[in-house]
Structure 1
């Protein structure tokens, strides 16, 4: 039976992932469930966590959590830090946990006042990346449902901007007329075409989107090509809007492999070389940094 020195938790909107950790930061075991924040009432968080971690815990095992578990709709609200702020994951909130074997701490998110913006979970990945890349300055892109572009200087978040690109893709591909023209596959050639169209003329995005449907009605457009083009159009429009962030900067892209690679490849078409970083590695490094601060 695995005995954890502490437990790392990434609790998102849709999923809960946990790792049994040694004191030195080695992963001993891992588990996950689909009991994300959006499907839980406040009194259901503790049982959902215990269901996964009970075999690993002893008296007062520390639990360091990040993500939407600390949102207003989560287990307990962990107040946002205000930009500019050092990404040191030093402020840890503690919810009321009844189980005598758990000592849960939640890493707060970050808020920006003007223009208004927020993040939860990404700040832990940023802290982990900086722990693994000491002294790094530049811009971090975190692709996802709500993609973040974050300017980092001297270990601080200077500013950031969120793009709803992933959510727009989900809505358009599943709940719009475009769903009749798409497939589950993504053709790289279609992606490159959409990317070029959006980067060169971002103002025509809405018209280009409808052309995806029209081309499947009047011609023989391959659904995988249409899916690639939709992705390229949306990411291209995002890159056009985020150009002040990525132009002339060191770039790191942190996230899931396939999606992150789309961003890395898209930036390469603009002669921008980006470092691709595996999301789980950055998350665990950030949670480990928070655990070490907790011990101090």
Structure 2
């Protein structure tokens, strides 16, 4: 394989992903592992990266540009947050210490909002990638995931944002509560999802009570596990939409996320008469890392 001009890295809590990049932005190769930030000590980051990208390295130093939780306080090195309102790549990258002379590792900072208190790491890079492809966008970006982000964009800047723990709640409830006996690990029911979204969007205060009805419906009426899965997701997303109504009502909306999850958010918004565009999360991450490399001259040298 041709040696990469630089290496793009998305390093989250659970996973590590890397792309070998040519100078023109072509992806030469890609690799991934389960060596997420959450399972590593500070001394473990460099060995984890070397295990993944060793085949791409030559005799000279290569620039590695990383976003995500690798720059958190518990990460390889802390990359301080930039305060909004600001452009998504406003913060200065931080050089991570590396013993191997072949590595020149730079960590991108996240964004912070003081009131109400909120932070993001990794999503700012996807936002930058989206704005690189649509620089005139003015509206709201929704980035669904473990911690969904709703981000107000104007004049190329992140004005404000709100985080909702919908994905993490879904995982915790479906795996670690009594509903683990009811909610299927796969499958889907579009009608059950739509009904559940409408339920908690109109009455979010009923969420906790509605959750246990999934258990009752499975025991008493034989509701299928895939229906319970869709209904649980709908209840949580409906409550999320109720909480974030000021962000999406009457706004131009675009989703940045995985295909399946984005489809559910798109359907929930469409039921409220809101049309949402969709951008691929991986593509936006790579575009954002490329934009960061161009923006910060000290990385490119």
Tell me the equivalent position of 1:26.
26
**Displacement, 1:223?**
1.3
- Determine the C-alpha separation between the residues in 2 that align with 1:131 and 1:173: 37
Tell me the equivalent position of 1:199.
201
Indicate the SS of the match to 1:3.
Answer: coil
TM-score, normalised to structure 2, is 0.96
**Displacement, 1:75?**
0.6
Alignment partner of 1:91 is 2:92: yes
CA shift digits 1:135-178 (9 cap, x unpaired): 11110000010000000000111000000000110111001111
- Determine the C-alpha separation between the residues in 2 that align with 1:32 and 1:81: 28
Tell me the equivalent position of 1:42.
42
Tell me the equivalent position of 1:224.
226
- Determine the C-alpha separation between the residues in 1 that align with 2:22 and 2:207: 49
Tell me the equivalent position of 1:56.
56
Indicate the SS of the match to 1:277.
Answer: strand
Tell me the equivalent position of 1:17.
17
**Displacement, 1:88?**
2.9
Greater Cα offset, 197-206 or 117-126: 197-206
CA shift digits 1:169-205 (9 cap, x unpaired): 0111001111111112221121111111111211111
RMSD (Å) for aligned C-alpha atoms:
1.1
Tell me the equivalent position of 2:247.
245
CA shift digits 1:19-45 (9 cap, x unpaired): 000111110100010000011111110
Kept in 2: contact 1:140–1:254 (CA 8 A) = yes
- Determine the C-alpha separation between the residues in 1 that align with 2:138 and 2:158: 10
Unmatched segments (≥5 aa) in structure 2: none
Tell me the equivalent position of 2:66.
65
Alignment partner of 1:288 is 2:294: no
Indicate the SS of the match to 2:94.
Answer: coil
Indicate the SS of the match to 1:152.
Answer: strand
Alignment of 1:146-161 (within 5 A): 146-161=147-162
**Displacement, 1:90?**
5.4
Kept in 1: contact 2:63–2:300 (CA 8 A) = no
Tell me the equivalent position of 1:145.
146
- Determine the C-alpha separation between the residues in 1 that align with 2:17 and 2:89: 22
Unmatched segments (≥5 aa) in structure 1: none
TM-score, normalised to structure 1, is 0.98
Number of aligned positions between the proteins: 296
**Displacement, 1:12?**
0.5
CA shift digits 1:34-59 (9 cap, x unpaired): 00001111111001111111221231
Indicate the SS of the match to 1:86.
Answer: coil
Moved over 6 A (4+): none
Question: Of the candidates 277, 280, 283, which is equivalent to residue 278 of structure 1?
Answer: 280
Alignment partner of 1:190 is 2:195: no
- Determine the C-alpha separation between the residues in 1 that align with 2:133 and 2:239: 31
Question: Of the candidates 208, 214, 217, which is equivalent to residue 216 of structure 2?
Answer: 214
- Determine the C-alpha separation between the residues in 1 that align with 2:279 and 2:90: 19
CA shift digits 1:87-134 (9 cap, x unpaired): 235521111111111111100001110000000000000000000111
Kept in 2: contact 1:2–1:29 (CA 8 A) = no
Tell me the equivalent position of 2:237.
235
Kept in 2: contact 1:2–1:55 (CA 8 A) = no
